[in-house]
Structure 1
Amino acid sequence: MEVSGKKLRKYCKPCEQRKASTYSDGFCSQCEEEMCQRCFDTHKQWKLNRGHRLDPTVGAISNKGETPTFDNCSKHLNEPIKFFCPEHGQVGCGDCMVISHKSCKVEYILEHIDGYKDGKQFKMLKKDIETYDNEAKSLLGSIRRNKNHVKDVNNKFALDVKLFRDKIISHITKLADAMLKYGDDIMEAGMKKIENLEKENKSLVDETNGMRDTLQSEVDQPYKLFISSLSYKQNLHLVRDQLERIKANNKIETYDFMPDCNLEQLMKTCKQLGVLHKSTGSGAALREESVKANEAAPVTKTLCSPKDQPLLNRQLVCTNVIIDGDLISYDEKAKGDRGLFIDKKKLKHLDCFEIEVMSIGRDGGIAIGVVPDDYPNNLLPGLGNDSYGYHSDG
């Protein structure tokens, strides 16, 4: 460990001769005497002294105030914090430097505090604090707009559900209420997430405001200003990471109600009111453009004609699934954990069929393929002899 052995500034010799105590601003090598700037300026007025130069005193402290009182080290009691390690950006007492920074070039704090508040490092620190403070405040506004948007999404969803529910007979009301409850649960989860982000972001705003206020209050206390600056410089890395994490999580799950156009025709066999379609937007800004605060989303009425039911007409086996036109979906209320549909249409040479997978659900999977007539119903296509299948698990 290297510790600077430079001494504090000496007193001006000409001032001492006048019985005054003034810190020296430099050393006149020609006269070999410590001088303050005032005495040196007077000194240079003489013709013989005009070529003299005042070299700054190394290790000087500001003569604008007294030597600051050192804080005691929290790790080594009664040991003053006098040193800092530029390599690690840490301050400490002599014991700290010997133990943790013995291979570093340690410097004396008092050698750096004079003029620190007007230096580049302090200006950059204040600029970074201001930047992160503005970013946090801007992000807080986005979070609050998303908080309103969560309600707007649910309001539109609830309105769509109610409009469709009014078209069908009274015994469907129970299914509609269940669907509304599903939407409310999603809204509650979304609101909780956004409120947590809002609270977390508000704490960042308070933290950056606290940094700024503390630095402002310590502007005339160079020692404390330097200590606080080093501490805040490290804290800003955490603030930056936390801001990035909040921005990444500042997304909400949007969903729309998709009514079943054949519900009235299939009232006796239908087991669900519709489909709750979820979608996650790419960012808060895009959603905020399409949904304005305190403005209900427009309701679009769709006139649906009865669908053809080719799958129902051709079904050979249909277990635990719901058929709607050419759409097959698993029945969430089914007793079994597997849905099965077998088309009785036989494929001939060069025949083909096309299927679009809309969703594999949260925990489930899909298997599609062709099988022989005697293929077991409890075996996925592609796993048995003479069968070919595609599985969504890869």
Structure 2
Amino acid sequence: MEISDIKLRYNCEPCTHLKTSAFSDGFCLQCEEEMCQRCFDTHKQFKLNRGHQLVHSVEAKSKSKERTKFDNCTKHLNKYIEFFCPEHGQVGCGDCMVISHKPCKIKNILQHIDGYKNSAEFKQLKKDIEKYDGEARSMLQSIGRSKDHIKDVNKKFALDVKLFRDEIISHITKLADAMLKYGDDIMAADMKKIENLEKENKSLVDETNGMRVTLQSEVDQPYKLFISSLSYTQNLHLFHHQLERIKYNNTIETYNFKRDCNLEQLVKTCKQLGTVHKPKESDNGSSVLCYPKETVRENRATSTKKAQHSPANQPLPGRQLVCKKLIIAGEFISFAEKANGYLGLFINTHTVKHRDIFEIEIVSLGSGGVIAIGAVPDDFPDNLLPGLGNDSHGYHSDGSVYQN
């Protein structure tokens, strides 16, 4: 300390502002102003100023030099970040602590940064960063395999479609192209999903790498190291949830092409090339069959005239007039397991004429109920079996024939 510093006297800045004259008794560290004792006592009466300190001006210069390594508070630009709240893991100036963390036990940063880089807490933080960085990199590899899997599945799907298309007559090539497009749409949707996951995961890798580089550069800067560590600790909690969500969504549904066996016999009148088969188990243990487009269900009144001209060997989806609570797969009809109600109904568009013949093969009777086939008038009630209403004829799976 120099003699000139000791003898140097400053004017009280609040008194000067009030156009009075008084020598300073010290320097308020928080306000960075020279004050006399009277002004400082008045100054501390306000709630926000009760933690302020008055020190000797020479000591203040030393403190001021020490403060040059502090960061400015983002909320109070004329203040420094000197304190932290262990409970919330947040840092700030004295005003921040008074306003937002009054009930908490606030601690001074300078008292905790010595030796922090050798602390168990900091070592654990670095381990966690490495752990999540490793998981993120591993997930990138898994996502890469998923992308290859998407391409392999689609390649096999396309080969099956093209092979089957080449075995049948040329006029159904357009149907094959439509089915290929359906497969490409599935691939595009899956690729978009995976690429979004890949982009999100790469950003996590970039962030963890940035954390590692920052911490390495701040190893010899305890204050900055501590601030960064608190921030990264909070971020890693979010990283964990993001990685779990990415891991959960990184699943690709396999699909392949399934031929329509009856199509080989009815190819000239067929309206679909086959089905997209996904080996996904449903509740009843059967495979799920997906069609490129929903079959349009026409109204009885508008379809009766068209029905009279429908060929007898037209595939089921093309000649249905009414279909309720049933599943159509190729030339097979089955009752929908989860359908509400007891009656599954399929009405053919074909108008029955004298001496007309039609055949239906019952593959399985199921666990219960009755299967009935027959001919009914156009205005026949939907809740009656054929043969149980006026002008109807039906054969039932109990072995009986019913008329009228």
TM-score range, shorter-chain basis? 0.5 to 0.7
Matching residue of 2:199: 199
- Report the CA distance between 1:263 and its aligned residue: 1.6
Matching residue of 1:243: 243
Q: Is the CA contact 1:369–1:381 (under 8 Å) kept in the aligned structure 2? A: no
Query: How far apart in 2 are the matches of 1:135 and 1:112?
Result: 32
Matching residue of 1:319: 321
Query: How far apart in 2 are the matches of 1:376 and 1:355?
Result: 31
Q: Is the CA contact 1:318–1:340 (under 8 Å) kept in the aligned structure 2? A: no
Matching residue of 2:286: none
Q: Percent identity?
A: 66
Query: How far apart in 2 are the matches of 1:378 and 1:71?
Result: 83
Q: Is the CA contact 1:323–1:329 (under 8 Å) kept in the aligned structure 2? A: no
Q: Look up the SS of the partner of 2:254 in the other structure.
A: strand
Change over 3 Å in CA distance of 1:76–1:159 after alignment to 2: same
Amino acid at match of 2:145: R
Change over 3 Å in CA distance of 1:238–1:380 after alignment to 2: farther
- Report the CA distance between 1:183 and its aligned residue: 0.6
Matches within 5 A, 1:277-292: 277-279=277-279
Q: Is the CA contact 1:84–1:108 (under 8 Å) kept in the aligned structure 2? A: yes
Q: Is the CA contact 2:345–2:382 (under 8 Å) kept in the aligned structure 1? A: no
- Report the CA distance between 1:251 and its aligned residue: 1.1
Q: What do residues 132-166 of structure 1 show as CA deviations (whole Å, max 9, x unaligned)?
A: 00000000000011111111110000000011111
Larger gyration radius, structure 1 or structure 2 = 2
Change over 3 Å in CA distance of 1:202–1:223 after alignment to 2: same
Query: How far apart in 2 are the matches of 1:381 and 1:139?
Result: 58
Q: Does 1:341 align with 2:346?
A: yes
Query: How far apart in 2 are the matches of 1:127 and 1:262?
Result: 62
Matching residue of 2:108: 108
Query: How far apart in 2 are the matches of 1:206 and 1:378?
Result: 67
Matching residue of 1:130: 130
- Report the CA distance between 1:319 and its aligned residue: 2.7
Change over 3 Å in CA distance of 1:85–1:174 after alignment to 2: same
Change over 3 Å in CA distance of 1:121–1:269 after alignment to 2: same
Matches within 5 A, 1:198-217: 198-217=198-217
Q: Look up the SS of the partner of 1:77 in the other structure.
A: coil
Change over 3 Å in CA distance of 1:71–1:124 after alignment to 2: same
**Scaled by the length of structure 2, what TM-score is found?**
0.58
Moved more, 113-122 or 321-330: 321-330
Q: Does 1:220 align with 2:220?
A: yes
Q: What do residues 158-217 of structure 1 show as CA deviations (whole Å, max 9, x unaligned)?
A: 000011111100001110011001111111111111111111101100000000110011
Matching residue of 2:172: 172
Q: Is the CA contact 1:72–1:80 (under 8 Å) kept in the aligned structure 2? A: yes
Matching residue of 1:353: 365
Q: Is the CA contact 1:133–1:208 (under 8 Å) kept in the aligned structure 2? A: yes
Matches within 5 A, 1:44-123: 69-123=69-123
Query: How far apart in 2 are the matches of 1:221 and 1:72?
Result: 16
Change over 3 Å in CA distance of 1:113–1:379 after alignment to 2: farther
- Report the CA distance between 1:278 and its aligned residue: 2.8
Q: Look up the SS of the partner of 2:131 in the other structure.
A: helix
Q: Is the CA contact 1:68–1:223 (under 8 Å) kept in the aligned structure 2? A: no
Change over 3 Å in CA distance of 1:329–1:272 after alignment to 2: farther
Amino acid at match of 1:341: F
- Report the CA distance between 1:277 and its aligned residue: 1.5
Change over 3 Å in CA distance of 1:375–1:127 after alignment to 2: farther
Q: Does 1:158 align with 2:158?
A: yes
Q: Look up the SS of the partner of 1:341 in the other structure.
A: strand
Q: Look up the SS of the partner of 1:105 in the other structure.
A: coil
Q: Look up the SS of the partner of 2:255 in the other structure.
A: strand
Query: How far apart in 2 are the matches of 1:128 and 1:323?
Result: 53
Matching residue of 2:19: none
Q: What do residues 224-265 of structure 1 show as CA deviations (whole Å, max 9, x unaligned)?
A: 000000000001111111111111110112211001122231
- Report the CA distance between 1:324 and its aligned residue: 3.6
Query: How far apart in 2 are the matches of 1:247 and 1:216?
Result: 29
**Scaled by the length of structure 1, what TM-score is found?**
0.60
Change over 3 Å in CA distance of 1:93–1:378 after alignment to 2: farther
Of structures 1 and 2, the one scoring higher in RCO (CA 8 A, sep 6+) is: 1
- Report the CA distance between 1:374 and its aligned residue: 8.5
Q: Look up the SS of the partner of 2:276 in the other structure.
A: strand
Amino acid at match of 1:113: I
Q: What do residues 328-381 of structure 1 show as CA deviations (whole Å, max 9, x unaligned)?
A: 699xxxxxxxx9515999xxxxxx93189xxxxxxxxxxx99899789768578
Q: Is the CA contact 2:321–2:347 (under 8 Å) kept in the aligned structure 1? A: no
**Which runs of 5 or more residues in structure 2 are unaligned?**
1-46, 54-65, 282-312, 337-343, 349-357, 390-404
Matching residue of 1:265: 265
Change over 3 Å in CA distance of 1:153–1:99 after alignment to 2: same
